[in-house]
Amino acid sequence: MLEIKNVTKKYGNKVAINNLSLEVKDGEIFGFIGHNGAGKTTIIKAIVGIHEFDEGQILIDNKSIKDFPLECKKKIAYVPDNPDIYNSFSGIDYLNFIADIYEVSLEKREELIKKYSDMFELTESLGDLIESYSHGMKQKLTIISALIHEPKLLVLDEPFVGLDPISSKRLKDTMRSLCDDGVCIFFSSHVLEVVEKICDRIAIIKDGRLIEVGKTKDLTKKKDLEKVFLEIENEK
């Protein structure tokens, strides 16, 4: 579903992503970890078409995001690390706007908005302006907006930040259930326990380079992910 081939991204002389390649298959939850400034958000923004990149290719369902941005974006949903959304919209207006852009049918959008807003306990606040929402509520709204057009690839950047424990649990369950339905999930997080628990495969990135990638069960055969991460970070 997602193929990153030799991608390099520079900010002036600074190399943010250095010749990075990896592949994520359908129905797979792929965890992406690294210290602050390692390049996680940069590669995520390149995948979803926010950032341009200098070299390489990113393929979504075998189509290049550079050459076919619209087709690719229709299959992607993105939850950013900071839920900055239109404050002058009410929650329901924002969800309806997203549904309009992704051309979701009326029946489908009503069904999915109800399903996910009930799940994340946001239904009661959907009529309020987003400017009155807390950080966690905005985060829930971006998650719901990412799910209502039934994406094939879900890209999540620190999705658990700001969520209460119940919503956090429900998001994890939803990720697993989407995965079972064949959706591909690519997500970054600093909460290594969560990554270890729900990811099928994990990649570790440092200074824009991929330094480790493998199945979660292989990486954590002898020690927990935190120790593995710290050892790899120190070694390389």
Partner 1 sequence: MKNKLFILFKNNLINTYQVKKTTPKKLILIIVVGLYILGSLIGSLYMFLKTMFDTLLTSGIADYFIPILMIIATIFSFFFTIFSAKSVLFDSKDNNLLLSLPIKRSTIFTSRLLVLIFMNFLINLLFMIPGLCIYIKNISCTIIFYIMIPIILILLPVIPTILASLFGYVVAKITALSKRKNIVEIICYILFIGIYLFFITKAKNLLFLLTDNVLLLNNIIKYIGYPIYLIEKFLVTNNIIYIGIYIIINLSLFTLFVLILSKKYFSIISRLSSHSKKGVYKEKQLISKSKREALNIKEIKRYFSSAIYVFNTAFGVIFFLIGSVASIFYKPDVLTKLVSTNIELDSYSLVLYFMLMVVGFTMTTNSSISIERNNFWILKMLPIETKDIFASKKHVNRLVTLPAVILGLIIFTISSYITPLQLLILVVICIIYNLFICNFGLICNLLFPKMDAINDTIIVKQSAASFVGIMVPLVFTIIIIGVLSTLNLSFQNMALIILAFVIVLWIISNRVLYTWGIKKFKEIA
Interface positions with partner 1 (CB under 8 A)? 45, 48-52, 69-71, 73-74, 76, 78, 80, 82, 84-93, 96-103, 105-106, 109-110, 113-114, 123-129, 131-132
Q: How far is the CB of 104 from partner 1 (least distance, A)?
A: 8
Q: 126 — phi, psi (to 5°)?
A: -60, -25
Choice between 123 and 168, CB closer to partner 1:
123
Could you give the angle at the alpha carbon of 153 between the alpha carbons of 147 and 157, nearest 5°? 75
Rank residues 99 and 198 by Cβ distance to partner 1 and give the closer one: 99
Sheet holding 55-60, edge to edge: 14-24, 2-11, 55-60, 63-64
Tell me if 235 sits within 8 A of 226, measured CB to CB. Answer: no
Query: What is the spatial distance between Cα 135 and Cα 161, in angstroms, rounded to a whole number?
Result: 9
| Residue 15 or 213 having the CB closest to partner 1 | 15
Which residue's structure tokens are 């690519």? 186
Burial of 14 (0-12, 13-18, 19+ CB in 10 A): exposed
CA distances from 131 to 27, 66, 126 (A): 36, 34, 12
If the CB atoms of residues 100 and 173 are measured against partner 1, the closer one turns out to be 100
Residue closest to 7 by CA, chosen among 220, 210, 211: 210
Minimum distance of partner 1 from residue 192's CB (angstroms): 26
Return the number of the residue (134 or 177) whose C-beta is nearest partner 1.
Answer: 134
Shorter beta-carbon distance to partner 1: residue 109 or 140: 109
